[in-house]
Amino acid sequence: MAEVKNKQVVLKDYATGFPKESDMDIVEGTISLNLPEGSNEVLLKNLYLSCDPYMQMLMSKIEGLEGFGTYSPGSPLTGYGVAKVLESGHPDYKKGDLVWGFTKWEEHSLVPSSQILFKIEHTDVPLSYYIGILGIPGMTAYAGFFEVGLPKKGDRVFVSAASGAVDLLKNKLGFDDAFNYKEEPDLNAALKRYFPEGIDIYFENVGGKTLDAVLLNMRVHGRIVVCGMVSQYNLAQPDGVTNLANLIFKRIRIQGFGVADYYQLYPKFLEYVVPKIKEGKIVYVEDIVEGLEKAPPALIGLFSGRNVGKQVIVLARE
Amino acid sequence: MAEVKNKQVVLKDYATGFPKESDMDIVEGTISLNLPEGSNEVLLKNLYLSCDPYMQMLMSKIEGLEGFGTYSPGSPLTGYGVAKVLESGHPDYKKGDLVWGFTKWEEHSLVPSSQILFKIEHTDVPLSYYIGILGIPGMTAYAGFFEVGLPKKGDRVFVSAASGAVDLLKNKLGFDDAFNYKEEPDLNAALKRYFPEGIDIYFENVGGKTLDAVLLNMRVHGRIVVCGMVSQYNLAQPDGVTNLANLIFKRIRIQGFGVADYYQLYPKFLEYVVPKIKEGKIVYVEDIVEGLEKAPPALIGLFSGRNVGKQVIVLARE
């Protein structure tokens, strides 16, 4: 069997506070490029890896979340990637197929047959889009907004996120308005200024003090779609949210969701979003770094606002 | 016009911390027992008044809740009651009708025609039941549990409440198990003991530290039905809830609700619950005090655990 070197990014130890580059190690293992006789696994060459804020939570030890895909010290990080099939014992995939799905932070990955890989059919858009707007992040926004948020015409929508420059959001990405929370000493006052009539849908990516201020500004029958709480993952003691009594009289729904519950909508999602990308109605920005060695600083950079647009790690382009 | 004396319980000033008897005043006004010509109002003689934990929140000044029925200093408290119609300019009600609905803490109330009053049809159960098991509290439990909680067979259900003695809950009211949170220094450990496989539905009446411990013990796709947060209403600074990140990976729904959104189910609810009361399948306990003067201490008593069963104030029996 042909053994080749296989570089990996592994978790050194659980992160506490903000993760640091030193919480990860680059190690060099080996992997066989041939599947054993009778295997139904799939051998992937990883091309693009995604850096996502939720990975910070998986690097930490948070009570109650054991068994929800949290990383183990000594093992490679996992996440979503675009890959090429090198060998396949699985009837649905053959050598040369381009796929995206759950993989590991390493050059080559052996994927068990039980794991979902999405075959890439549209190749007239950049392949890296399948870890971004055409992959989990795009699908998450779609399912969260439409399926969980249940928008009605005229709804006032607030999205919190580590989004970079306000000018980018307003001038390039088409938001009606945007503000930088670091320039707002009183978040409640800021929300009252931007949403004088209150908020119908809050797409929650931040948590903590932002959620607390939003609760004061929700409208009756408002919906809070909880996608993430990035401000909280790095805290040994998360912020206490104090305004939950607003849920009662305003009859607010807070709904945590995971995109995996909505995978069956993926074809419908592609039908909706691919034309919008081609027509320029949805603008998408990427921040690309080259090489697995750049993966740990790229991941850390998410939390200091270093990246502009979706953080992509390129291992190989084909 | 016949003017009569009309005793009232008014809010003296906004309560801070636990409400005290001195936050309320008994005042004696007058009211006309004749409706003016052409009025479409309804004049009620109040028979039974309900004491409910949510009234504490209406007595406080809580940011973001202005306009949600909070009380004003100098005005009578409001709440649910059973009453007899003395005069009616409304086509749906006539003199002598027994009704229940939203009224004031006073001997006689003039109710605008826009306000919903439910006519009492079943009089073979005690009239006071219409401010309890056959009124808002019963309807709240029904709508919250069935319509918001969406129970499935086998679901593990936790209800938090100021419920009095554990023996009463287990031996008389038919709960599978019960514990006194004051005897549990570690709520998280207690919940793990009572729900080793986790909680599917949490019917939330308490909030704060209880909610925080429950979040650690919810199951995937769990539902938290937020009926009230009685532990929080008396706090100048509510407890911070720190475990909300559990919402994300466990895809938990937290839903605040108000029973008024479910009034159309009232006939269906009666059909469900009246036979169960008559057959003794639902056990109901009341704690009855006599006279409007007893109303302030009865309300305060809710928060010190003085009452056993539903707190009822009798003004008159017919």
Size of interface A-B (CB pairs under 8 A): 128
Question: Any idea what the Cα angle at residue B202 is, between residues B201 and B208, rounded to 5°?
Answer: 155
The minimum CA-CA distance between A243 and chain B, rounded to whole Å, is 7
List all residues of chain B from 222 to 241 with a beta carbon under 8 Å from chain A. 226-229, 232-233, 237-241
pLDDT in tens, A87-111: 999 999 999 999 999 999 999 999 9
* ipTM of the complex, rounded to two decimals: 0.81
The minimum CA-CA distance between B103 and chain A, rounded to whole Å, is 19
Instruction: Read off φ and ψ for residue B300, nearest 5 degrees.
Output: -60, -35
pLDDT of residue A70: 84
pLDDT in tens, A23-57: 999 999 999 989 988 999 999 999 999 998 889 88
Instruction: Collect all residues of chain A within an 8 Å Cβ-Cβ radius of residue B62.
Output: 245
Q: Give chain B's mean pLDDT.
A: 93
Contacts of A228 (CB under 8 A, 6+ apart): A53, A54, A204, A205, A206, A207, B248
pLDDT in tens, A257-313: 999 999 999 999 999 999 999 999 999 999 999 999 999 999 999 888 888 899 999
pLDDT of residue A127: 97
CB contact under 8 A, B247 and A232: no
CB contact under 8 A, B69 and A249: yes
Q: Which structural domains are found in chain A, ordered by start?
A: 3-132+284-314 (3.90.180.10), 140-259 (3.40.50.720)
pLDDT of residue B161: 86
Give the mean pLDDT of A4-18.
92
H or E element at residue B153: none
Helices marked H in A223-312 — which ranges? 246-249, 266-278, 295-301
Search chain B and give the residue with CA nearest A236.
B242
CB contact under 8 A, B241 and A241: yes
Search chain A and give the residue with CA nearest B237.
A242
CB contact under 8 A, B250 and A261: no
CB contact under 8 A, B252 and A250: no
Instruction: Collect all residues of chain B within an 8 Å Cβ-Cβ radius of residue A258.
Output: 248-249, 251
From the list A65, A68, A248, the residue facing B256 with the nearest CB is A248
List the single best residue of B59, B205, B249 to mutate versus A (max A Cβ within 10 A).
Answer: B249
List all residues of chain B from 190 to 229 with a beta carbon under 8 Å from chain A. 207, 211, 215-217, 226-229
Distances (CA, A) of A154 to A146, A151, A199, B160: 14, 8, 11, 37
pLDDT of residue B64: 67
Search chain B and give the residue with CA nearest A243.
B238
Search chain A and give the residue with CA nearest B238.
A242
pLDDT in tens, A231-246: 887 678 899 999 999 9
Question: Binning pLDDT at 50, 70 and 90, where does residue A81 land?
Answer: very high
pLDDT in tens, B67-83: 777 899 999 999 999 99
Helices marked H in A155-219 — which ranges? 166-167, 187-194, 209-216
| pLDDT tops 90 at residue A64 | no
Distances (CA, A) of A275 to A131, A134, A268, A310, B105: 18, 12, 12, 20, 62
CB contact under 8 A, A238 and B244: yes
Give the mean pLDDT of A115-126.
92
Q: Which residue has the higher pLDDT, A129 or B306?
A: A129
List all residues of chain B from 36 to 55 with a beta carbon under 8 Å from chain A. 54
Among residues A183, A46, A41, A174, which one has the least CA distance to residue A104? Answer: A46
Q: Which residues of chain B have pLDDT under 70?
A: 1, 64-65, 234
From the list A239, A242, A251, the residue facing B257 with the nearest CB is A251
Instruction: Collect all residues of chain A within an 8 Å Cβ-Cβ radius of residue B57.
Output: 245, 248
pLDDT in tens, B158-202: 999 877 788 999 999 989 999 999 999 999 999 999 999 999 999
